[in-house]
Amino acid sequence: MFPGGVNPKQMSQMMKQFGIKNQELDAKEVIITLGNGNKIVFDKPQIQCIEMRGEKTYTIAGATREVSGVPQEDIDMVAEAAGVSKEEAKKALIESNGDIAEAILKLKK
């Protein structure tokens, strides 16, 4: 039961009257890539898509885990080749979207 005593079926009918479409999506995994290269992964997410006036809004719920977006072996390789710390190497890899050669060249300037 929704707040105010409205049951889900009534709520769905009311939404249709206002031109709002509500759809549950069947997904196995959702991945959100953050600006620092890390990723938030939703395994077996519950996803609602609400469409109103041509705009879609997605709501994602479920258990999450965070994954490093830059492989450790790439960080090690760039750090060694450019003679910098692993933190600097990771930052350069993120800025170069994972391009190892570009990260090394950037760090050697």
- Residue 79's domain is classified under what CATH number? 1.10.8
Q: Which domain holds residue 53?
A: 20-67
Instruction: Look at residue 42 and tell me whether its pLDDT is greater than 60.
Output: yes
pLDDT tens per residue across span 81-105: 999 999 999 999 988 888 999 999 9
Residue 15 belongs to a domain: no
Amino acid identity for residue 90 in this structure: K
The pLDDT score that the predictor gives to residue 89 is 95
* 3-state per-residue secondary structure call for the chain: CCHHHCCHHHHHHHHHHCCEEEEEECCCEEEEECCCCCEEEEECCEEEEEEECCEEEEEEECCEEEECCCCHHHHHHHHHHHCCCHHHHHHHHHHCCCCHHHHHHHHHC
pLDDT bucket at 1, cuts 50 / 70 / 90: very low
Instruction: Look at residue 68 and tell me whether its pLDDT is greater than 90.
Output: no
pLDDT bucket at 2, cuts 50 / 70 / 90: low
- Residue 40's domain is classified under what CATH number? 2.20.70.30
Model-level pTM?
0.58
Residue 86 belongs to a domain: yes
